[in-house]
Amino acid sequence: MTASEGRVEPGHGRNVPGSVASGAAQPALRAVGLSKSFGAFRANDGVDLSLPGGARHALIGPNGAGKTTLVNLLTGRLAPSAGDVFLDGERVTSLPEHARVARGMTRTFQINALFDGLSVFESLLLAVCQRRGQGASWWRRLSRLDAEHRDVWSLLDRLRLSADAALLTRHLPYGKRRLLEIGLALATGPSILLLDEPASGIPAAESRDMFEVIAALPRSVTLLFIEHDMGLVFRFAERISVLVAGRVLCEGTPDEISKDARVREVYLGGAVP
Amino acid sequence: MASFFGIVFDGVAYGSLLFLISIGLSVTMGLMNIVNLAHGAFAMFGGYLSVWLGARGVPFLATLPVCFVALGLAGAACERLFYQRLRRRSQLDQVLFTIGFTFAAVAAATFVWGPAEQRVDLPAALRGQVQLFGVGLGAYRLFLIALVAVLSAGLVALVEKTTFGARVRAAVDDEHVSAGLGIPVERVFCLTFAFGSGLAGLGGALCIDVLGLEPTFALKYLVYFLLVVSVGGAGSLAGTAVASIVLGLFDVAGKYYVPEVGAFIIYGLMIVLLLVFPAGLYGRRT
Amino acid sequence: MSSSGVPPIAPRELGLDERFGRLEIGFWLLAVAAFFALPGYLVLASQVLIAGLFALSLDLILGYAGIVSLGHAAFFGVGAYVAGLLSVRGHGEALSGLLAAAAAAGAVGFCTSFLIVGGHGLTRLMVTLAVGLSLHEAANQASSITGGSDGLSGMETSDLFGLFAFDMLGKTAYLYVLAVCFASFLLVRRAVHSPFGLSLRGIRENERRMHAIGAPVRRRLIEVYTLAAALAGVAGALSAQTTEFVGIEALGFDRSAGALVMLVLGGAGRAYGAFVGSCLFMLLQTIFADIHPAYWQFWMGCAVMLIAFFARGGILGYASAVFERLAIVRRGRAAPRPGT
């Protein structure tokens, strides 16, 4: 997928200030020399990443390679020791996490981060209200937010969770919790979505719903996902970055990666999927 | 200035007392992650036990080890009965339970001993002053500092040199890994809690002459204990020691030099320190 | 399926219905009835309502946003002293006193909120305690203004609207307090059933995720803390105006802890829990304190311990657990099957 095909559409009602207006499209997400040290331990070391709009990019690597740390750096959960992050050409390195979400970049968590005491509907409504700029309004009644309600119902439709809308999150079975996890991220209307092991913990029999949700994501959404499930990686990814010991070992198409001897040695263990 | 030295001396004595009582709280919070607002009540009961024994003719110094043991046992009982389960609850539940405990304790003390301040009969050797470097220093306070210094040395030795100490340190660092290594974590908790409560009881008995003892002691000085622990960093011996001495000095100096704002110095200092070191001076930064 | 925009499940089933429950209506009707039925107890009833309002303000930050505060009485005290001082200096008009108190308490809340919202756990708890104690100490020290431990006297609350005098039996006072409390209750209720309220619950449930869906958590917490402080200030002003006295205990730890206990008894995270808890608290206090002053405190302490220990899901849980059960029963009966 070339950059010209995957033009990024801005998210709902958002400005993207500071974009460099030029003939060529800016990469949707770009990391330059991103590093993070915890004391003497280097979790990420000079990571470079460039995702054109509409990309389907996978991040793989052995455990402890620093993948989740990288996502935390990209989203602003952690401040980098060095390096920069750019969203559509705008430097966002010093912006806090919620400001980056407002600019279109959202992530999911490997271990579900849900609102156990809220119902499925309330959880999604919360995210939708925030996206529509209603998060602070204290005088509007929750039951009268027609536009927001419609958004939530269409989202529930996509996730196939409509029947469970009234259920409390803590009563959901695990597979559905995982769907809600993605649902919350989708509710923010992202143009860049970072998925941290979306299929983690879901048995193969139940993962069909998850795959379909991911496959149904439009090209207006740029996708970066961390995965260990090689089936998922080779099915969805158009480009793969291999992260080992905090550094990018190599990057390329699935074909190139599966043939690369270094990758085989370090990660795939010599087997070709 | 002789007076300045006297203030430092008083501050160190006060700080030593704070340390003795707070160290139990610090380890409990660092180890078991429990906000234990009832710790002041343990100290208070130690004091009242000493008074009770003293009224029956037991010499003051002899009451001290009794207070230590008695409150240690009480602590062990409480740990088994309540705190073991409180560990997994939310901070709010812990706060509420221990506040309830403290209120009940204060009420019980009022009922049994009345609201008046209690006094102890110090042995003759500890009354009056001792001349040191041309300055008259309170004998009792000197005794306090010496006692706490000795106990601290013992604590450091216990923590650094014994197996038990190593287990406590491991459990503070990482409970699950320690359990995985075969360390009887539950027993470590119980013993540590008991030990800390015993020290609190001992400190409470020692407090009577310096701070005064009445039922509201449990709440009034709780603030200082919590202060010491949060500023020093829960679970850290060194942190608690430094915080105690610093707070003791500032409190005494503040009340002497600027009595109108005396108490503010402490609160203000605490807020500043907490803003700069959210995990405490020696706390672990997550 | 749902492309027509008509939701297959009614808002009521989703828990979004904000119609008044029978309990709520019942409570306020009782409060009005008390005016006629219990003429001798109106002074006490006023205190119950005021304490309930104060507990409600604490519930905003505790039950909804999840901030445990041991120093909330500081704002009650600020409100009380501001209303008191205005009155002593000749401005005894009640409503303007209320507004001034709310503004002052809100300002103090706003300033201290920065210390609170940044921290977590023990640090945050300690800072709330320190703020409470500092203000208590300040009031004690500034005795020339506040009257120190003797309290502020010499207040005189002007006739309400120039017509209704504050009589000894407390009839005018009661109606005044009732009106203000009810108005505040409606306000809080509105805020709670709004997107703002939902985001507070989100912060309480999972603060980490709130950041990740783009919510400015810090800002929300500052907003709710300021609101809670202002409301506490209103309660303080009411107390000052109706008793025409402000004691130093208005700021004390006992008052902060008392509000916590009321929320324990009545259930936190439910707007009316504060008033229910206040009633129970005052009722129990009146019954027990007569026997021996320490008796009340002892049994209250024990009750709090029991509830904190045994309530499944903790304090916030036990009230919710009951309602969850009721809601599940209700949904089971009604359950319109969504079209497939």
Q: How confident is the model at residue A12 (pLDDT cuts 50, 70, 90)?
A: very low
The mean pLDDT value for B148-176 works out to 83
> Per the structure block, which two tokens stand in for C184?
């505040």
* Strand A222-226, strand A192-196: pairing: parallel
Predicted local distance difference test score (pLDDT) of residue C117: 83
Cα–Cα distances (Å) from A70 to A77, A232, A243, C31, in that order, read: 10, 20, 10, 58
Q: Which residues of C touch B92 (CB under 8 A)?
A: 62, 68, 314-316
The mean pLDDT value for C124-138 works out to 84
Q: How far is A148 from chain C (nearest CA, A)?
A: 11
Q: How confident is the model at residue C41 (pLDDT cuts 50, 70, 90)?
A: confident
Q: How much is the pTM?
A: 0.84
Q: What's the half-sphere exposure (Cβ side, CA atoms, 13 Å) at C163?
A: 2
Size of interface A-C (CB pairs under 8 A): 148
Q: Determine whether the interchain pair A135/C199 forms a contact, defined as Cβ–Cβ distance below 8 Å.
A: yes
The lowest-confidence range among A17-21, A201-205, B211-215, B259-263 is A17-21
Question: Which candidate from A119, A136, A143 shows the least CB-CB separation from C196?
Answer: A136
> Per the structure block, which two tokens stand in for A225?
């996902």
Mapped onto helix, strand or coil, the DSSP state of residue B226 is: helix
Instruction: Report yes or no on C317 lying in a domain.
Output: no
Q: Determine whether the interchain pair C301/B103 forms a contact, defined as Cβ–Cβ distance below 8 Å.
A: yes
Percent of chain A clearing pLDDT 90 (strictly above): 42
Report how far residue B202's alpha carbon sits from residue A146's, in angstroms, rounded to the nearest whole number: 65
Question: Which candidate from B101, B263, B264 shows the least CB-CB separation from C305?
Answer: B101
- A60 phi and psi angles, rounded to 5 deg: -120, 165
The mean pLDDT value for A107-121 works out to 92
Q: Looking at the domain covering A27-104+190-268, what would its CATH class be?
A: alpha beta
Q: Which residues of A touch C217 (CB under 8 A)?
A: 98
Report how far residue B230's alpha carbon sits from residue C107's, in angstroms, rounded to the nearest whole number: 27
Instruction: Report yes or no on C294 lying in a domain.
Output: no
Chain A interface mutation, best of C6, C207, C209, highest count of A Cβ atoms under 10 Å: C209
Q: Which residues of C touch A184 (CB under 8 A)?
A: 209, 213
C with A: 3 or more CB pairs under 8 Å?
yes
Chains in touch with B (3+ beta-carbon pairs under 8 Å) read: C
Q: Evaluate if residue B121 carries a pLDDT over 60.
A: yes
Question: Which candidate from C190, C198, C338 shows the least CB-CB separation from A129?
Answer: C198
Report how far residue C64's alpha carbon sits from residue C57's, in angstroms, rounded to the nearest whole number: 11
Report how far residue A221's alpha carbon sits from residue A224's, in angstroms, rounded to the nearest whole number: 10
Predicted local distance difference test score (pLDDT) of residue C116: 85
**Mean pLDDT of the residues in chain B:** 85
Task: Say which DSSP state C60 is in.
Answer: I
Q: How far is C159 from chain A (nearest CA, A)?
A: 33
> Per the structure block, which two tokens stand in for C3?
């492309």
Question: Which candidate from A113, A117, A146 shows the least CB-CB separation from C209?
Answer: A113
Looking at the complex, does the CB of residue C143 fall below 8 Å from at least one CB of chain B?
no
Predicted local distance difference test score (pLDDT) of residue A7: 30
**Mean pLDDT of the residues in chain A:** 84
Give the containing element (helix H, strand E) for C65: none
Please give the tally of structural domains in chain B.
1
Give the range of the structural domain holding residue C221, as residue numbers without chain letter: 39-278
Q: Determine whether the interchain pair A101/C214 forms a contact, defined as Cβ–Cβ distance below 8 Å.
A: yes
Question: Which candidate from C122, C293, C305 shows the least CB-CB separation from B100?
Answer: C305
Give me the residues paired with residue A182 across strands. Answer: none
Q: Evaluate if residue A160 carries a pLDDT over 90.
A: no
User: Residue A116: is it exposed, middle or buried by C-beta count within 10 angstroms (0-12/13-18/19+)?
Assistant: middle
> Per the structure block, which two tokens stand in for B157?
């030795």
Q: Where in chain A is the domain with CATH 3.40.50.300?
A: 27-104+190-268
CB atoms within 10 A of CB A80: 22
Q: Evaluate if residue C104 carries a pLDDT over 50.
A: yes
Instruction: Report yes or no on C300 lying in a domain.
Output: no
Question: Got the DSSP string for C109-177?
Answer: HHHHHHHHHH--HHHHHHHHHHHHHHHHHHHHH-HHHH-GGG-B----PPPBTTTB---TT-HHHHHHH
CB atoms within 10 A of CB C36: 7
- Highest mean pLDDT among A170-174, C226-230, C284-288 belongs to C226-230
| pLDDT tens-digit readout, B176-209 | 888 888 888 888 889 889 999 999 999 999 988 8
Looking at the complex, does the CB of residue C314 fall below 8 Å from at least one CB of chain A?
no
The lowest-confidence range among A55-64, A256-265, C13-22, C188-197 is C13-22
Looking at the complex, does the CB of residue C122 fall below 8 Å from at least one CB of chain A?
no
Q: Determine whether the interchain pair A121/C14 forms a contact, defined as Cβ–Cβ distance below 8 Å.
A: yes
Instruction: Report yes or no on C106 lying in a domain.
Output: yes
CB atoms within 10 A of CB C111: 12
The nearest alpha carbon in chain B to C318 belongs to B93
> Per the structure block, which two tokens stand in for B210?
């310096």
Q: Which residues of C touch A145 (CB under 8 A)?
A: 195
Contacts of A111 (CB under 8 A, 6+ apart): none
Q: How far is B30 from chain C (nearest CA, A)?
A: 11
> Per the structure block, which two tokens stand in for B41?
């009540």
For residue B26, the domain's CATH number is 1.10.3470
> Per the structure block, which two tokens stand in for C330?
């209700």
| pLDDT tens-digit readout, B227-267 | 888 888 877 888 889 999 998 998 888 888 887 776 777 78
Q: Determine whether the interchain pair A138/C208 forms a contact, defined as Cβ–Cβ distance below 8 Å.
A: no
Q: How far is C36 from chain B (nearest CA, A)?
A: 36
Looking at the complex, does the CB of residue C205 fall below 8 Å from at least one CB of chain B?
no
The lowest-confidence range among B64-68, B193-197, C271-275, C317-321 is C317-321
Give the range of the structural domain holding residue B179, as residue numbers without chain letter: 2-276
Regarding predicted confidence, which is higher, B124 or C186? C186
Q: Determine whether the interchain pair C2/A156 forms a contact, defined as Cβ–Cβ distance below 8 Å.
A: yes
Q: Determine whether the interchain pair B264/C134 forms a contact, defined as Cβ–Cβ distance below 8 Å.
A: yes
User: Chain B: which residues have CB within 8 Å of chain C?
Assistant: 29, 35, 82, 85-86, 89-97, 99-108, 110-111, 219, 223, 226-227, 229-230, 234, 260-261, 263-264, 267-268, 270-271, 274-275, 278-279
The nearest alpha carbon in chain C to B92 belongs to C68
The distance from CA B119 to its chain's CA centroid, rounded to whole angstroms, is 20
Q: How far is C124 from chain B (nearest CA, A)?
A: 9
Looking at the complex, does the CB of residue A187 fall below 8 Å from at least one CB of chain C?
yes
Q: Evaluate if residue A18 carries a pLDDT over 50.
A: no
Q: Determine whether the interchain pair A130/C191 forms a contact, defined as Cβ–Cβ distance below 8 Å.
A: no
Question: Got the DSSP string for chain A?
Answer: --TTTSPPPP-TT---TT----SSPPPSEEEEEEEEEETTEEEEEEEEEEE-TT-EEEEE--TTSSHHHHHHHHHTSS--SEEEEEETTEE-TTS-HHHHHHTTEEE--SS----TTSBHHHHHHHHHHHHTT-TT-SSS-GGG-HHHHHHHHHHHHHHT-GGGTTSBGGGS-HHHHHHHHHHHHHHT--SEEEEESTTTT--GGGHHHHHHHHHT--TTSEEEEE-S-HHHHHHH-SEEEEEETTEEEEEE-HHHHHH-HHHIIIIITT---
Please give the tally of structural domains in chain C.
1
Cα-Cα-Cα-Cα dihedral of C42, C48, C49, C53, to 10°? 160
Predicted local distance difference test score (pLDDT) of residue C314: 46
Instruction: Report yes or no on C95 lying in a domain.
Output: yes
Buried b (16+ CB within 10 A) or exposed e, B184-200: ebeebbbbbbbbbbbbb
Looking at the complex, does the CB of residue A140 fall below 8 Å from at least one CB of chain C?
yes
Q: Evaluate if residue C160 carries a pLDDT over 60.
A: yes
Predicted local distance difference test score (pLDDT) of residue C335: 42
* Strand B135-138, strand A247-252: pairing: unpaired
Q: What's the half-sphere exposure (Cβ side, CA atoms, 13 Å) at C148?
A: 5
Cα–Cα distances (Å) from C151 to A170, C51, C247, C256, in that order, read: 50, 19, 4, 18
* Strand A247-252, strand A239-244: pairing: antiparallel
Q: How confident is the model at residue A75 (pLDDT cuts 50, 70, 90)?
A: very high
| pLDDT tens-digit readout, B17-33 | 999 999 889 888 877 77
Sign of the dihedral through C-alpha A254, A258, A263, A266: positive
Contact in structure between C210 and A156 (CB atoms under 8 Å): no
Looking at the complex, does the CB of residue A121 fall below 8 Å from at least one CB of chain C?
yes
Give the containing element (helix H, strand E) for A251: strand A247-252
Predicted local distance difference test score (pLDDT) of residue B39: 92
Q: Evaluate if residue B125 carries a pLDDT over 60.
A: yes
Q: How far is A133 from chain C (nearest CA, A)?
A: 10
The distance from CA A168 to its chain's CA centroid, rounded to whole angstroms, is 25
Contact in structure between C102 and C237 (CB atoms under 8 Å): yes
Chain C interface mutation, best of A12, A106, A153, highest count of C Cβ atoms under 10 Å: A153
Q: Determine whether the interchain pair B92/C62 forms a contact, defined as Cβ–Cβ distance below 8 Å.
A: yes
The mean pLDDT value for C285-294 works out to 76
Contact in structure between A105 and A191 (CB atoms under 8 Å): yes
Report how far residue A192's alpha carbon sits from residue A67's, in angstroms, rounded to the nearest whole number: 17
Q: How confident is the model at residue A13 (pLDDT cuts 50, 70, 90)?
A: very low
| pLDDT tens-digit readout, C208-220 | 999 999 999 999 9
Instruction: Report yes or no on B285 lying in a domain.
Output: no
Predicted local distance difference test score (pLDDT) of residue C330: 59
